[in-house]
Amino acid sequence: MPIQKPSLPKGTRDFGPVQMAKRNFILDTIKETFKLFGFQQLETPTMENLSTLTGKYGDEGDQLLFKVLNSGDFLKNVEKEDLGLGANKILPKVAEKGLRYDLTVPFARYVVMNRNEITFPFKRFQIQPVWRADRPQKGRYREFYQCDADVVGTDSLVCELEILLMIKRVFAHLGISDYSIKINNRKILTGIAEVIGESGREGELCVAIDKLDKIGWTKVQEELQQRNFSQDAIEKLSPVIELAEGNSSKFEVLKSYLVDSEVGMAGIEELEEVFDLLKQYGENESHVDFDVVLARGLSYYTGAIFEVKVNNVSIGSVSGGGRYDNLTGVFGLEGVSGVGFSFGVDRIYDVMEELNLFPNQQADNTKVLITYFDEEGFKYGLGLLGKLRVAGISSELYPESAKIKKQFTYADKKQIPFVIVLGDNEIKEGKVALKNLETGNQEMMDIATAIELLK
């Protein structure tokens, strides 16, 4: 029988050492930032009970849940007559668990289960893979990482401020300089719908306005007409569309525009406070853009909404989030307000590849390889290896006797920058020859000096 070639399930992928080094560069930067701001790390299980997951993501989301078959004889509770009644009848009898679909619902479950032990406001971050039984396509996977940070149990707008600051810090450290953090408030959108006389229709309004960049105002007006918005409403909308650039001028115009909408004015007030806090913190408004028509997750968010776009790349948004009023309500704990956002690690990776921003020398490469000519060199090298590692220098000893050229080729292919060469002289004098593979320089020195240099 021919041996079958191994393959991966569709929509999943391997990350080799080079990709992992780059991914870790991104993840370590994000993690360090979260910790600096007082967020604590949380992990939840890969599997949740299906009862925890179903009904939380809408009908479409339920379709995309990966179900896990019960262990053992998973058919033992299925009767013959169940088979005629279709998958929905059989499912609860064969699968009680599913793979996690996002990090938000497990977080809500965690908060409810541990509400008596948690210190509120609770600042948590979570970096774990999630699974969706979606049709795989370019840039869309069935297994991918999410990277979330949330604060629950406070209405303070300092939380919104800190999200802006964390995004700015992460991007500065990754070397991404041409980007904008678009920020808006759900209440402003509600206010705009009220002012134009189409109360409660902000959802449809935003779907149409969202296409402004792509299709222009004329086409957006046509779409609004098709959605049965009155001509009067569409005309009343134009001051919002024609807002001049600059955050403060937008605030001025909207204050008079929304003057008759209580909820709209509340949104303006909240957003202005976030900008004030930014100033008090000592940080400027660069990269922060008040985008009046930004609308995301309308059914979900109730206050501030964020979206981060990197300019001049082919990838959409790389981060987003907002404030929600009732994270834990689905599990019976009402009124826990929170604000959160998430970094799209895979998308940030693609952006950095496209802009060529990854540092060349990856930190998790071996720093030095010990090479030798004979058994004597091998024994001497083994003793050195211990000393190098105690000093915290990532090092290897070539594991088998081979021509020195082969040992050097190994170092080259693994991008190891230094080799130690052990010949008869070095062994006799208790020294080492340290060679820099990039410059070709080689010097004989004692071990202590070599360790200092390598550090």
CA end-to-end span of the chain: 54
What distance in Å separates the CA atoms of residue 156 and residue 401, rounded to the nearest whole number? 65
- Does 44 show up as a binding residue in the annotation? no
44 in Cβ contact with 106 (< 8 Å): yes
Tell me whether residue 104 is annotated as binding: yes
What span, in angstroms and rounded, lies between the C-alpha atoms of 152 and 154?
Answer: 6
Find out whether 300 is annotated in a ligand binding site. Answer: yes
Say whether 103 counts as a known binding-site residue.
yes
Do the annotations mark residue 178 as ligand-binding? no
Q: Which amino acid is at 148?
A: D
33 assigned to a ligand binding site: no
User: Is 102 annotated as a binding-site member?
Assistant: yes
User: Does 137 appear as a known binding residue?
Assistant: no
Is 186 in contact with 305 (CB distance < 8 Å)? yes
Identify whether the C-beta of residue 179 lies closer than 8 Å to the C-beta of residue 310: yes
Give the number of other Cβ atoms within 10 Å of residue 367's Cβ: 16
Instruction: Tell me how far apart the alpha carbons of residues 361 and 363 are, in angstroms, rounded to a whole number.
Output: 6
- 228 CB-side CA count, 13 A: 1
Question: What's the per-residue H, E or C state across the chain?
Answer: CCCCCCCCCCCCCCCCHHHHHHHHHHHHHHHHHHHHCCCEECCCCCEEEHHHHCCCCHHHHHHCCCEECCCCCCCCCCCHHHHCCCHHHHHHHHCCEEECCCCHHHHHHHHHHCCCCCCCCEEEEEEEEEECCCCCECCECCEEEEEEEEEECCCCCHHHHHHHHHHHHHHHHHCCCCEEEEEEEHHHHHHHHHHCCCCCCHHHHHHHHCCHHHHHHHHHHHHHHHCCCCHHHHHHHHHHHCCCCCHHHHHHHHHHHCCCCHHHHHHHHHHHHHHHHHHHHCCCCCCEEECCCCCCCCCCCCCEEEEEEECCCCCCEEEEEEEECCCCHHHCCCCCCEEEEEECHHHHHHHHHHCCCCCCCCCCCCCEEEEECCHHHHHHHHHHHHHHHHCCCCEEECCCCCCHHHHHHHHHHCCCCEEEEECHHHHHHCCEEEEECCCCCEEEECHHHHHHHHC
Residue 213 marked as a ligand binder: no
Binding-site residue set: 102-104, 132, 146, 150, 296, 300-301
Binding-site residue set for L-histidine: 102-104, 132, 146, 150, 296, 300-301
